[in-house]
Amino acid sequence: MNSEQTWSAVDEYLGDLLGTDDAVLKDALAASAEGGLPEIQVSATQGKLLHLLARLHGARHILELGTLGGYSTIWLARALPTDGQLVTLEYEPKHAEVARRNFQRAGVASLIDLRVGAALDILPQLEKEGRCPFDLIFIDADKDNYPDYFRWALRLSRRGTVIIADNVIRKGAVIEPDHSDPRVQGVRRFLDLVAAEPRVSATAIQTVGAKGYDGFAFALVNADA
């Protein structure tokens, strides 16, 4: 087995052993695949990690940027108390439509406010509506805009908010300053902003698994933003 095959096999072993992915989540993935959505959601073990982090944090108000078919959204929504709320933003109406059906089937629709449009257009609306602060913010939309998403995440945060950003390692390309991919440049500028931001304490973790080689960044907001 090559490394990628081993990482996937270990993820499958862990998923089966720890029962991370249940029938409802598997159905959501199947519906997303049938709907023709790209298979770029978090893995089952990563979804469970997000879920556990939200529970550890006691999150009641969650914001997600990048819904796709709602796989990570369902993991996060399951961490909420019955009066909790998750706002998730998705640009593609087709993705949003599949996600809405997945939320209904998963029994979490009442907890989720799915907004369709460009995140940078919707984020100011959330601020105007007083939907903030959020307790946990998961950034997983277009990587080119990660720097702006981080600026907005800070605006919509309070002391103690956790900001998590996915796909910040990009198979190691993140260390190449002149990389031609705007997504790599986006995560590099995002990490520079995080590093220079005195209001957060942050780290980033490399991951391997069913989704290949990538990683998450975590930032805890220490001071009122």
Ligand X SMILES: C[S@@+](CC[C@H](N)C(=O)[O-])C[C@H]1O[C@@H](n2cnc3c(N)ncnc32)[C@H](O)[C@@H]1O
Site of interaction with ligand X (CB under 6 A): 40-42, 66-68, 71-72, 89-92, 95, 118-119, 140-142
DSSP labels, 109-148: GGGEEEEES-HHHHHHHHHHTT-PPPSEEEE-S-GGGHHH
In order of 101, 143, 211, 216, the CA distances from 188 in angstroms are 35, 10, 20, 13
Phi-psi region of 19 (alpha: psi -120 to 50; beta: other; left: phi over 0): left
Q: Select from Mg ion, ligand X, none the partner in contact with residue 25, using the beta carbon and a kind-dependent cut-off of 5 to 8 Å.
A: none
Query: 161 contacts which partner out of ligand X, Mg ion, none, CB within 5 to 8 A by kind?
Result: none
**Of residues 103-122, those binding Mg ion (CB under 5 A):** none
Query: Contact letters (x/-) for Mg ion, 156-185, by CB under 5 A?
Result: ----------xx------------------
Q: Say whether residue 140 binds Mg ion (CB under 5 A).
A: yes
Tokens coding 175:
């260390």
Three-class DSSP category at 102: helix
Q: Based on CB atoms, which residue is closest to ligand X, 7 or 138?
A: 138
Rounded-to-integer distance, Cα 151 and Cα 96, Å: 25
For Mg ion, the closer CB: 167 or 225 = 167
Total residues binding Mg ion (CB under 5 A): 3
Q: How far is the CB of 1 from ligand X (least distance, A)?
A: 26
Q: How far is the CB of 159 from ligand X (least distance, A)?
A: 26
Q: How far is the CB of 206 from Mg ion (least distance, A)?
A: 14
Report d(CA 76, CA 4) in Å as an integer: 27
Distance CA 89, CA 170 (A): 22
Residue 88 identity (one-letter amino acid): T
Q: Between 40 and 222, name the residue whose CB sits nearer to ligand X.
A: 40
Q: Which does residue 214 bind out of Mg ion, ligand X, none, counting CB within 5 to 8 angstroms by kind?
A: none
Q: Which of 155, 150, 156 is nearest to 202 (CA)?
A: 150
The site for Mg ion (CB under 5 A) is made up of 140, 166-167
